[in-house]
């Protein structure tokens, strides 16, 4: 049995799992997957898209953005909105950096602090990417074709495991593609209704032993 974490977070921002051990991680909404030692799959944003975004932001830098790279992340500037989200999510403080630094290495994700009203306009600049919003204050921008479901497929292919042999747990909007993709998908009872509708099975909340009850339901325990 293999146990993987599938998350929108960067590897350095996975700070809420204590001393639990996993076989690997599907991070950045499927854009960067690795086992205990080596990368399994990488899907960065195109360098041309990053270059276009940098040029536009140099002309009119209207929103903070965290540029997420393979080993680190940096932000062009912070405001009260950023501070609020960092505290809310218990997110590590990103490095401060210049826009030109985004051109030095592959960027896998943009944590973009623009609201829902500006999203359509901004996404026209970030070609070949899609928004995976799960908070009104910011959105995770990832390359098109990058999702937790794709990351899961790459990991399963690496290990020679069929998706019919998997269980997938989720509770957020960025889990919907994964929940629809995996036949034995489980959504936590505290999820929103559109997320519940994407899963094969709805369990109780985390605080009500939802994971344990789902594992019992599927005969794992």
Tell me what pLDDT residue 29 has. Answer: 85
For 95-124, the pLDDT digits (tens) are 999 999 999 999 999 999 998 888 988 898
Phi-psi category of residue 160: left, alpha or beta, with phi > 0 → left and psi -120 to 50 → alpha: left
Q: Contact, 221 vs 204, CB < 8 A?
A: no
For 201-219, the pLDDT digits (tens) are 999 998 999 999 999 999 9
Tell me what pLDDT residue 192 has. Answer: 93
According to DSSP, the residues that pair with 100 across neighbouring strands are: none
Tell me what pLDDT residue 134 has. Answer: 77
Tell me what pLDDT residue 89 has. Answer: 83
Q: What does the mean pLDDT of the chain come to?
A: 92
For 31-78, the pLDDT digits (tens) are 999 998 789 999 999 999 999 999 999 998 989 999 999 999 999 999
Among 51, 53, 6, CA closest to 32: 6
Does residue 17 register a pLDDT over 80? no
Paired tokens of 35: 């086992």
| Residue whose entry in the numeric block shows the structure tokens 């990053």 | 50
Q: Sheet holding 168-170: strands in order across? A: 168-170, 185-187, 201-202
- How would you write the chain as a 3-class SS string? CCCEEECCCCHHHCCCCCCCCCCEEEEHHHCEEEECCCEEEECCCCHHHHHHHHHHHHHCCCCCEEEECCCCEEECCCCHHHHHHHHHCCCCCCEECCHHHHHCCCCCEEEECCCHHHHHHHHCCCCCEEEEEEECCEEEEEECCCCHHHHHHHHHHHHCCCHHHCCEEECCHHHHHHHHHCCCEEECCCCCHHHHCCCCEECCCHHHCHHHHHHHHCCCC
- In this prediction, what percent of the chain has a pLDDT beyond 90? 73
């Amino acid at each position: 049995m293999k146990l993987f974490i599938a998350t929108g977070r960067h590897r350095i921002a996975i700070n809420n799992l204590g001393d639990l051990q996993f076989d690997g991680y599907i991070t950045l909404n499927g854009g960067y997957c690795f086992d205990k030692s080596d990368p399994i799959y990488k899907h960065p944003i195109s360098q041309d898209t990053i270059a276009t975004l940098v040029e536009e932001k140099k002309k009119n830098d209207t929103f903070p953005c965290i540029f997420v790279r393979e080993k680190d992340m940096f932000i062009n500037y912070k405001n009260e909105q950023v501070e609020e989200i960092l505290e809310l999510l218990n997110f590590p403080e990103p490095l401060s950096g210049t826009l030109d630094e985004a051109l030095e290495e592959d960027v896998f994700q943009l944590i973009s602090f623009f609201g829902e009203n500006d999203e359509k306009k901004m996404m026209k600049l970030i070609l070949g990417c899609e928004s995976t919003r799960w908070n009104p204050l910011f959105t995770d921008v990832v390359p098109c074709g990058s999702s937790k479901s794709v990351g899961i497929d790459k990991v399963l292919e690496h290990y020679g495991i069929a998706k019919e042999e998997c269980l997938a747990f989720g509770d957020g909007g960025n889990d919907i593609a994964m929940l629809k993709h995996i036949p034995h998908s489980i959504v936590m009872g505290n999820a929103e209704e559109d997320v519940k509708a994407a899963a094969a099975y709805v369990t109780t909340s985390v605080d009500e032993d939802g994971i344990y009850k789902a594992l019992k339901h599927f005969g794992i325990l």
